[in-house]
Amino acid sequence: MIAIIDYQMGNLRSVHNGFVKVGAEASITSDPDVVRRADKVVLPGVGAFEDAIAELRKIGMDEAIAEVIERGTPFLGICIGLQLLFEKSYENGEHAGLGILAGDVVRFDPPAEFSVPQMGWNQLQLRQQLPLFDGINDGDYFYFVHSYYVRPTDSSVIAAVTDYGGEFCSAIGRENLVATQFHPEKSQKVGLQVLENFAKW
């Protein structure tokens, strides 16, 4: 069973429906013990970093996330779910993240012709051949909505990059841990392929 973490940060139903479309068994939960028992775990989210990390800590999900990743449970972060994995974010101040990965989260500062947030379709340039990207081609388009992006300290975790007035990390991969800045649940056929790959992992 795939546990989709509910921490009041939206978009859960779209992620759940995506997994249902690819024939995967998934459930939405705010119970850390359900997450600990799950075969796979997904941390999605849309919203502000400060509110997200506060809610995860409030319900004790921060400890459960650290435990399942350490244990080797396949784990997928999406959008804010990617950013929360890092040490700190500079969104509306400075806020400590989960600290699973070294690095920080910063706001786009692109040339004037690029609007912030980035909203719409953009390409991936693959840097790792992850099982998550089986059937995905270099240059495929995925859907993004975000004003901030991650800067990993260890470049070896970067699984894909995207150009938006400059190159940024759009996916990471390290052993059982993968995460994307793009929204696979909003990325039509290629996005469903990513969800199916994770479900089969």
Give the pLDDT confidence of 95-117 residue by residue, as tens digits. Answer: 999 999 999 999 999 999 999 99
Domain ranges (residues) in the chain:
2-200
Q: What is the pLDDT of residue 116?
A: 94
183 is catalytic: yes
Which of 16, 169, 183, 196 is the catalytic position? 183
Taking only the tens place, the pLDDT of each residue in 30-88 is: 999 999 999 999 999 888 999 999 999 999 999 999 999 999 999 999 999 999 999 99
Residue 10 has pLDDT above 90, yes or no: no
3-state secondary structure 98-167: CCCEEEEEEECCCCCCCCCCEEEEEECEECCCCHHHCCCCCCCEEEEEECEEEEECCHHHEEEEEECCCE
Which of 55, 79, 95, 146 is the catalytic position? 79
CATH architecture of 2-200: 3-Layer(aba) Sandwich (3.40)
Question: Shortest CA distance to 88 belongs to which of 70, 101, 75?
Answer: 101
This prediction's pTM: 0.96
Which of 16, 91, 169, 185 is the catalytic position? 185
87 is catalytic: no
Helices (H) and strands (E) in the chain, counts: 6, 14
